[in-house]
Amino acid sequence: MSYVIKDEKGMYYAGGGEWTDKQISAFRFNGKPVIKRLVPKRTTAAPVPPTSTTHNFGDGAGPVPAHQHPSGLGWVADTATVAATAYVGPNAVVYGTARVYGTALVYGDARVYGSARVYGSARVYGNALVSGNARVYGNARVYGGARVSGNARVSGGNVTEDRS
């Protein structure tokens, strides 16, 4: 098994090798964490420069430098920050100067952008949008077609679109 991780300073590290059952303490099944973390056996991790990949986030800026997050393979603009402990699903995106950290999960067709922050054990999924200076944290769940924007703060409970 091999992996690429981007650390807090923006450096990329590649590693690999064989894994035993005892070394696996993190695993995701269908985008959901089922164990807490993955700890590699000895690694000879060496810095790897980011590839010059671009992605069009559909915000009118056209293709911008971006990468796929190692956990979930969702697209993340190089101007945004997603911690290695967080998850960005394959159809989810994080761009602008947004940050996703802690054990937060962003998946489905969710979008986190602008200067928004998603952290703690928060989940943003479905077609939900978190933008502007919004903060979603703690055990909050934002899903469906919900929109959290401006200076909104969501710290617990569920937020979904009003279908009435």
Same domain, 37 and 96: no
Could you tell me what percent of the chain has a pLDDT over 70? 65
- Decide if 69 contacts 63 (C-beta within 8 A): no
Is there a domain that residue 164 lies in? no
The mean per-residue pLDDT over the stretch 13-31 comes to 41
When comparing pLDDT for 133 and 25, which is higher? 133
Surface-to-core class of residue 24, CB atoms within 10 Å of its CB (0-12 exposed, 13-18 middle, 19+ buried): middle
| CATH code (residue 119) | 2.160.10
What is the extent of the structural domain holding 92?
A: 54-159
**Tens of pLDDT, residues 43-98:** 444 444 444 589 999 999 999 999 999 888 999 999 999 999 999 999 999 999 99
Is there a domain that residue 38 lies in? yes
In sequence order, what are the beta bridge partners of 46?
Answer: 14
Same domain, 95 and 67: yes
Model confidence pTM above 0.75: no
When comparing pLDDT for 42 and 57, which is higher? 57
The mean per-residue pLDDT over the stretch 127-138 comes to 96
